């Protein structure tokens, strides 16, 4: 693809604004042989040529060109100027005239006969016509097209080859759908975002050579199929496994056609809730509200899940109370915290029924220090009837005396 930088012949009046007069070619401007991206639409290519041509004319003449001629129909040019962001950016700041008239002369007949740029058949909105859902399975090397006819679901399964990837399988399914219904408007729905992005751009695109030979062949095949179409089509994206209503139900039919295992849909709400929790791991209250099942059943589903069961209530501190009353049985331990310096021996006492915790920092862990710790604790709470042993033997030997003194 190239563009021409033209000027008028010497001696002609430059004040004449008609573009019908003869023109001479100053320079040819080309795009790279290989586009920057694998699929470059023709509109983007024209925009790149316009930007490159404007820059070159400024280098030669020192000013912007007076006119820019784009070889296409009036209605197509008007539509592209409204909807093509790339073309709008290429003409940003241009104060001249944009038209589709061509200069006179024998060498310009080729340009007038060739269809350089036309309005695309791909619609951004759904069209009135048949809707086909496509999907592919990489493990089983199959692609499927599913559609509804007279209230009955029909499907066509396409077998892949050994070197096919998920991309090539999805492109195969889309090619088959566009080629089968090439004489009527068509909607194609896919849950693969790559295909939804490629198909609208490849209709009149410049293709770059790809390392994946199979993918490059499918690009050429898809572009050839789109050139043979005369009716509009729309390619839409849908998120997979989101819902079982409307488009989601139809997409589920396509998923089942390429699934390795045929899954029987659950018959009751409890099975639906259990299957949903295996995928999304909702809590019990969410299952109760979403599937209208009893809260006890929802809690049972969460407890039975091996991934969610450890998120339940935490275990209590200390020994199991086993029906004891408060302030009857205590547990004492000493923890060493070097950051406390001289008072690094932290004496901790826990009531194993109420989980009340009392801690004091002491300079040691002998019986004297335990006595100080318990004496301060005695001033706050009514003391115990019994308590377990401490860490040091010296402290253990004095515990009976401390208990008797504590009353």
Taking 70 as the threshold, does the pLDDT of residue 206 lie above it?
yes
Contact predicate 39/56, CB 8 Å? no
Contact predicate 168/219, CB 8 Å? no
Contact predicate 332/349, CB 8 Å? yes
Sign of torsion over alpha carbons 242, 248, 249, 251: negative
Taking 70 as the threshold, does the pLDDT of residue 401 lie above it?
no
- Name the strands in the sheet holding 152-159, side by side, starting at the edge strand that comes first in the sequence: 152-159, 142-149, 130-137, 186-190, 233-237
Among the residue ranges 79-93, 118-132, 231-245, 361-375, the one predicted with the least confidence is 231-245
Residue showing tokens 């194993």:
352
pLDDT at 239: 73
Sign of torsion over alpha carbons 237, 239, 242, 244: positive
pTM of the model: 0.49
Cα 233 to Cα 236: distance, rounded to the nearest angstrom: 10
Structure tokens belonging to residue 105: 């002369």
* Mean pLDDT to the nearest integer, 315-332: 63
Cα 386 to Cα 371: distance, rounded to the nearest angstrom: 15
Cα 211 to Cα 160: distance, rounded to the nearest angstrom: 19
Residue 341 burial (C-beta neighbours within 10 Å; 0-12, 13-18, 19+)? exposed
Structural domains present in the chain: 2-113 (no CATH), 130-255 (3.30.420.10), 266-311 (1.10.10.200), 330-406 (3.30.420.10)
Angle at 130 between CA 127 and CA 131, to 5 degrees: 85
Q: Report which DSSP code applies to 254.
A: H
Ramachandran category for residue 246: left, alpha or beta (phi over 0 → left; psi -120 to 50 → alpha)? left
How far does CA 67 lie from the centroid of its chain?
Answer: 44
pLDDT at 13: 45
The listed range with the strongest mean pLDDT (230-244, 318-332, 390-404) is 230-244
Taking 80 as the threshold, does the pLDDT of residue 360 lie above it?
yes
């Amino acid at each position: 693809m190239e563009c021409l930088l033209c000027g008028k012949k010497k001696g002609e009046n430059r004040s004449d604004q008609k573009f019908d007069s003869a023109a001479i070619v100053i320079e040819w401007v080309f795009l790279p042989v290989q586009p920057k991206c694998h699929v470059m639409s023709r509109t983007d290519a024209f925009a790149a040529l316009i930007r490159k041509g404007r820059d070159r004319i400024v280098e030669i003449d020192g000013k912007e060109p007076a006119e820019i001629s784009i070889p296409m129909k009036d209605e197509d040019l008007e539509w592209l100027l409204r909807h093509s962001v790339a073309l709008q950016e290429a003409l940003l700041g241009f104060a001249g005239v944009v038209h589709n008239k061509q200069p006179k002369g024998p060498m310009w007949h080729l340009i007038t006969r060739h269809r350089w740029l036309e309005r695309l058949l791909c619609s951004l909105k759904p069209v009135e016509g048949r809707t086909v859902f496509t999907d592919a399975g990489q493990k089983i090397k199959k692609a499927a097209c599913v559609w509804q006819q007279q209230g009955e679901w029909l499907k066509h399964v396409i077998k892949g080859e050994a070197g096919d990837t998920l991309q090539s399988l999805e492109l195969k399914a889309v090619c088959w759908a566009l080629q089968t219904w090439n004489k009527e408007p068509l909607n194609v729905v896919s849950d693969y975002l790559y295909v939804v992005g490629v198909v609208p751009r490849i209709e009149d695109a410049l293709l770059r050579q790809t390392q994946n030979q199979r993918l490059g062949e499918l690009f050429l095949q898809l572009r050839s199929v789109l050139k043979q179409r005369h009716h509009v089509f729309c390619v839409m994206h849908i998120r997979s496994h989101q819902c079982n209503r409307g488009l989601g139900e139809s997409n589920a039919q396509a998923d089942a056609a390429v699934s390795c295992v045929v899954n029987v849909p659950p018959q009751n709400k409890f099975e639906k809730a259990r299957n949903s929790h295996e995928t999304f791991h909702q809590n019990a209250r969410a299952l109760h509200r979403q599937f209208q099942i009893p809260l006890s059943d929802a809690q049972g589903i969460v407890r039975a899940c091996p991934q969610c069961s450890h998120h339940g209530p935490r275990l209590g501190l200390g020994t199991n109370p086993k029906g004891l009353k408060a302030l009857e049985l205590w547990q004492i331990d000493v923890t060493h915290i070097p950051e406390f310096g001289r008072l690094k021996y932290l004496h901790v006492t826990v009531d194993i029924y109420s989980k009340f915790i009392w801690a004091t920092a002491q300079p040691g862990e002998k019986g004297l220090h335990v006595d100080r710790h318990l004496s301060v604790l005695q001033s706050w709470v009514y003391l115990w009837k019994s308590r377990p042993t401490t860490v040091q033997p010296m402290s253990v030997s004095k515990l009976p005396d401390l208990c008797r003194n504590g009353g």
